[in-house]
């Protein structure tokens, strides 16, 4: 019989959990504890019948009948839920590739990953599952996979967006060169643009033009005479040899470096700033963006990514959400609402610096925590059966919780898909923000920040709602996922520290500026 798992940690911990489960069961059998619940059954039923009074016929026959019934139930519970029978090992465990095959992406086999070293510690060892739990594992995984297959495939834009947000220029010399380009090229060209106030016609008011003029790789400055073609680097650049015609009047240094025009400095193949900044981006990440944003040219996609790396900013335009904020009223009320909302957006914007990295850590930690919870469930089975005196009610509650823990994987997939689908709807082709940095969607309305908070919380809220919904069927499993929030709390806290450091540095800079 083949047992499927959803990730490598679960693949490893499933076998580890059943090995420990078998060890605990063997201890229970060897010590004779397995017989204690039967003694409890006899005493409990005898006391129950005795407490019912002496006017209900033959109490001995009644108590014997009840004891016999409960002992038979106990035998069935032990036989199907306690005694290990079905073999489980790395030869019967298999990594579930159904979602990868459906959505046409490849996953490495366990032997092709770093897990192979960990797996070797358990190679050759096998455990056994009781018949009932083997059946429930197979049934739960089948139902979860069937539900996940019903979710359409999609690009995980949220993760791609987080990866771009976390991309930094790791080369300090390149970072300094970007700063030099801003000072020598973008600043003078932008100042010259506002001094000349050229007539751009209706294009001047278009969002595309405004966006283009607000970053250092502006196409207008690159293609319009009198801007990047005339501005130049004020310090020599070794990648561009000294050119007596171009660099006339400028000192020739011993290193042979020249003074490229800003257009050359930005656009020249392989040595220009644009290409060297692109090298800082993971090629796989860029390939995923190019595959998703197929309605854009390669240059447009690359420029959107570069823009985020060198000059992340947010622009506010319009609203596409229905919300219940604010009040309906006169001018004073509107003014108060406007001030309150502006203050709230500022708070959310600063808070997002810490919140987004924190939720990214939570998203990465959730499957890991779930794998440990499933292992803990497996280990608890024999002890709970003993404490529950082999009651059928206890066994069915454990069965539902066992299924619920496995089915949580579906809610993670659903939250992830909705998260990415919302971004696709907002920033895909023909969307409300398709002309505002469409690849990243980072130049968006302030309400997007609120949506980011909500979607981040859904990875915890949806599984919690699923467990709560089980109480409608009378299953008391409300606290089973407390470990999910507790297990990811430290990752969330530490993930937010990077943002807190940024906020602290900003406050310090503001305070020092005010003091001076």
pTM (global) more than 0.75: no
* Per-residue DSSP letter, 251: P
CA–CA separation, 56 and 62 (whole Å): 9
For the chain, what are the domain ranges? 1-150, 156-167+312-516, 172-280
Written as six digits, the tokens of 171 are 């080369």
- For 471, the 3-state DSSP assignment is helix
**Using alpha carbons only, what angle is made at residue 434 by residues 428 and 436, rounded to the nearest 5 degrees?**
130
Q: What are the tens digits of pLDDT across the range 431-473? A: 555 544 544 554 454 555 656 666 667 878 888 888 888 877 7
What pLDDT shows up at residue 163? 72
* Helix (H), strand (E) at residue 191: helix 187-196
Q: What are the tens digits of pLDDT across the range 108-161? A: 565 555 555 555 556 667 889 999 999 999 999 999 988 888 887 766 666 676
Q: How far are the Cα atoms of 347, 360, 393 from residue 398, in angstroms, in the given order?
A: 44, 32, 9
* Helix (H), strand (E) at residue 435: none
Q: Give me the residues of the chain with pLDDT under 50, please.
A: 202-205, 312-335, 345, 435-436, 438-439, 442-443, 445, 491-492, 495-496, 498-499, 502-503, 506, 510, 514
CB atoms within 10 A of CB 304: 21
Q: Where are the alpha helices (DSSP H) in 324-441?
A: 331-387, 392-427
Give the list of residues 6+ apart from residue 361 with CB closer than 8 angstroms, or none: 488, 491, 492, 494, 495
Cβ 396 vs Cβ 93: under 8 Å? no
Q: What are the tens digits of pLDDT across the range 12-46? A: 888 889 999 999 999 999 999 989 989 988 888 87
CA–CA separation, 459 and 413 (whole Å): 9
CA–CA separation, 465 and 482 (whole Å): 12
Query: What are φ and ψ of residue 341, in 5° steps?
Result: -65, -40
What pLDDT shows up at residue 339? 54
CA–CA separation, 504 and 516 (whole Å): 18
* Per-residue DSSP letter, 319: -
Query: What value does the mean pLDDT of the chain take?
Result: 74
Cβ 215 vs Cβ 310: under 8 Å? yes
Give the list of residues 6+ apart from residue 51 with CB closer than 8 angstroms, or none: none
């Amino acid at each position: 019989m083949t047992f499927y798992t959803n990730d490598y940690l679960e693949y490893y911990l499933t076998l580890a959990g059943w090995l420990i489960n078998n060890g605990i069961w063997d201890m229970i059998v060897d010590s004779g504890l397995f017989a204690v619940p039967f003694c409890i059954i006899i005493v409990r039923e005898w006391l129950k019948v005795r407490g019912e009074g002496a006017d209900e016929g033959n109490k001995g026959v009644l108590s014997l009948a009840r004891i016999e019934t409960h002992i038979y139930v106990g035998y069935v519970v032990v036989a199907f839920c306690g005694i290990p029978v079905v073999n489980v090992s790395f030869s019967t465990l298999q990594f579930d590739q159904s979602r990868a095959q459906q959505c046409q992406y490849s996953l490495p086999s366990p032997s092709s990953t770093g897990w192979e070293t960990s797996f070797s510690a358990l190679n050759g060892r096998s455990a056994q599952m009781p018949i009932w739990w083997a059946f429930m594992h197979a049934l739960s995984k089948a139902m979860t996979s069937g539900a996940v297959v019903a979710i359409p495939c999609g690009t995980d834009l949220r993760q791609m967006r987080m990866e771009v947000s976390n991309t930094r220029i790791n080369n300090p010399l390149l970072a300094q060169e970007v700063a030099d380009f801003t000072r020598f090229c973008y600043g003078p060209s932008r100042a010259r643009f506002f001094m000349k106030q050229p007539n751009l016609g209706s294009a001047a008011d278009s969002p595309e033009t405004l966006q283009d003029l607000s970053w250092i790789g502006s196409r207008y400055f690159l293609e319009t005479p009198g801007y990047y073609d005339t501005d130049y680097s004020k310090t020599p650049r070794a990648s561009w040899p000294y050119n007596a015609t171009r660099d006339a009047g400028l000192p020739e240094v011993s290193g042979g470096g020249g003074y490229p025009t800003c257009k050359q400095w930005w656009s020249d193949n392989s040595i220009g700033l644009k290409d060297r900044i692109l090298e800082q981006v993971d090629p796989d990440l860029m390939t995923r963006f190019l595959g998703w944003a197929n309605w854009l040219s390669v240059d447009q996609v690359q420029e959107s990514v570069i823009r985020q790396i060198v000059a992340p900013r947010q622009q506010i335009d319009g609203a596409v959400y229905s919300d219940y904020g604010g009040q309906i009223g006169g001018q004073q009320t509107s003014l108060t609402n406007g001030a309150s909302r502006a203050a709230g957006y500022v708070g959310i914007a600063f808070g997002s610096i810490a919140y987004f990295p924190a939720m990214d850590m939570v998203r990465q930690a959730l499957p890991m925590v779930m794998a440990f919870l499933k292992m803990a469930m497996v280990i608890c089975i024999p002890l709970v059966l003993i404490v529950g005196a082999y009651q059928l009610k206890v066994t069915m509650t454990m069965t539902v919780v066992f299924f619920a823990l496995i089915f949580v994987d579906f809610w993670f997939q659903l939250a992830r898909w909705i998260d990415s689908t919302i971004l696709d709807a907002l920033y895909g082709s023909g969307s409300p923000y398709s002309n505002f940095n469409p690849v990243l969607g980072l130049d968006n309305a302030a309400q997007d920040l609120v949506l980011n908070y909500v979607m981040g919380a859904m990875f915890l809220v949806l599984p919690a709602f699923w467990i709560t919904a089980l109480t409608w069927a009378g299953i008391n499993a409300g606290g089973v996922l407390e470990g999910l929030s507790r297990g990811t709390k430290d990752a969330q806290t530490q993930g937010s520290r990077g943002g807190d450091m940024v906020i602290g540095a900003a406050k310090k800079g503001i305070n020092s500026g005010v003091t001076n």
